[in-house]
Amino acid sequence: MTTTFPEGFLWGGATAANQFEGAYDQDGKGLSIQDVMPQGIVGPPTAEPTEDNLKLEGIDFYNRYAEDIALFAEMGFKTFRFSIAWSRIFPNGDDETPNEEGLAFYDRMLDELEKHGIEPLVTISHYETPLNLARKYDGWTDRRLIEFFERYAKVLFERYGSRVKYWLTFNEINAIMHAPLMAGGILTPKEELSKQDLYQAIHHELVASARVTRLAHEINPELKIGCMVIAVPTYPLTPNPRDVLKAMDSDHANLAFGDVHCRGDYPGYFLRTLREAGVELQITDQDREDLKNTVDFVSFSYYVSACESGDPELERVQGNIMAGVPNPHLEASEWGWQIDPVGLRIVLNQYWDRWQKPLFIVENGLGARDELVEVDGVKTVVDDYRIDYLNQHLHQVGEALADGVNLLGYTTWGCIDLVSASTAQLSKRYGFIYVDRNDDGSGTLERYRKKSFDWYKEVINTNGGSLTA
Ligand code: BGP
């Protein structure tokens, strides 16, 4: 069948400040947790920023944004997802007043996007809690973070609310279960973090998300606020009911975040998890009221599906942040992430059926090692593997649209090469644009169009018509 994408479908690409801006101490920016995470989530944080941390310079988007946005425009991007670095706006997180130079940077970026008619899609917090909040408060375990986050979001809505319609509160909010430092700014090592503190931190983020949703609507009723979750559809390894049940439990652990954001209350299965873990959440009456401020749409990242089994002995392997039993029917990327285009159609249907809120795919893509070559005297990457991956996934998106799913748009992850979140490498590349920078920090930072650049341009230009089955 031919894939039909709706008119006005928001095609684009996605990024995060800490992974590509660089300029980690420029113009009054404070340190964020990422500035002391040179190994992403595969190694411990350092006491202070160290030279081996590729994020300190990133791909220098901070100083090259105009050139890069022009390349996105050349591909025909309708939207561009980026995050605002909290510590550029509030260098310590708990400051009383914002840093004007930080705010001015995003004004300049928005000018550039407007110039090209690209709709901004802004993540308020993408794995970059100000380091001071981690050190002083142990991140989101402390209730006071709600107030600091609200202050930050208020400044953003007031400053950019007339120019930015689509906002996401926390990137991959469910990642906090597995990566409490990256997703929750919690410095207590994961092994020492009590369930009580972890779930309390989750509660604080959920309340903060709901409170800023209300705030946004108060400031400008036109604003559209979305939650953002990692989507990992979980299949039972076999039809054994124990496997099916385990898969359901595993799905529930993730769906809970969307349930709270869309329904305004904790689901029963989640309360049971808390009871069985001996956790007593500190919830005030005001919290319960706040949670009722549900989101306008649901956004998610999709890279992998997983299997589950009732057999605890079976080995679980890590995909995107979460682990599961490997699926014998699927191939994996070089980083072991299992590739499952059909899973994207499944999850789109699951979310739409469950929440009946517009959906937005804000991350999807293949992390691969690319080789820069010369074709007809022009430097490029012949990334047919990436084209194939994206084509297959987008074909399934088309199928989901035919199933009746309401989808606002699709932004590929890392539309320009950037530093990986999990392993902090540059060699794990996702982009349509190659950036000359290597894992050892060497490179000219020059940009080159990959083969997928022209391919995506054609997909956008034909509104999906050029995709193949
Ligand atoms: C998501 C994050 C992104 C991003 C992406 C790819 O978890 O929201 O920040 O990096 O995954 O992951 P990685 O960079 O680890 O390959």
149-204 pLDDT tens trace: 999 999 999 999 999 999 999 999 999 999 999 999 999 999 999 999 999 999 99
Residue 308, pLDDT score: 97
Mutate to test the pocket of ligand 1, among 337, 413, 416 (most ligand atoms within 8 A of CB): 413
pLDDT in tens, 258-316: 999 999 999 999 999 999 999 999 999 999 999 999 999 999 999 999 999 999 999 99
Average of pLDDT values for 325-347?
96
Question: Where does the pLDDT of residue 317 fall: very low under 50, low under 70, confident under 90, or very high at 90 and above?
Answer: confident
What's the gap in Å between 35 CA and the centre of ligand 1?
A: 16
Number of the ligand 1 atom closest to the C-alpha atom of 428:
16
What's the gap in Å between 365 CA and the centre of ligand 1?
A: 10
> Of all protein residues, whose CA lies closest to atom 7 belonging to ligand 1?
320
Residue 411 CB–ligand 1 contact under 6 Å: no
What's the gap in Å between 304 CA and the centre of ligand 1?
A: 12
Q: Could you write out the DSSP letters of every residue in 419-445? A: --TTT--SSSB--SEEE---TTS-S--
pLDDT in tens, 110-164: 999 999 999 999 999 999 999 999 999 999 999 999 999 999 999 999 999 999 9
Residue 301 CB–ligand 1 contact under 6 Å: yes
Residue 371, pLDDT score: 98
Give CA–CA dist 357/335, Å, rounded: 33
Residue 2, pLDDT score: 57
Radius of gyration of the chain (CA): 21
Residue 3, pLDDT score: 66
What's the gap in Å between 362 CA and the centre of ligand 1?
A: 11
Residue 323, pLDDT score: 87
Share of the chain above pLDDT 90, in %: 98
Just list the catalytic residues: 172, 363
The residue among 290 and 1 whose pLDDT is bigger is 290
Residue 322 CB–ligand 1 contact under 6 Å: no
When the pLDDT of each residue in the chain is averaged and rounded to a whole number, the result is 97
Give CA–CA dist 462/454, Å, rounded: 12
Phi, psi of 335 (to 5 degrees): -95, 10
In this prediction the pTM is: 0.98
Residue 319, pLDDT score: 84
Give CA–CA dist 416/59, Å, rounded: 9
Give CA–CA dist 46/44, Å, rounded: 7
Instruction: Give the pairing of strands 323-324 and 234-236.
Output: unpaired
If DSSP codes are grouped into helix, strand and coil, which group holds residue 360? Answer: strand
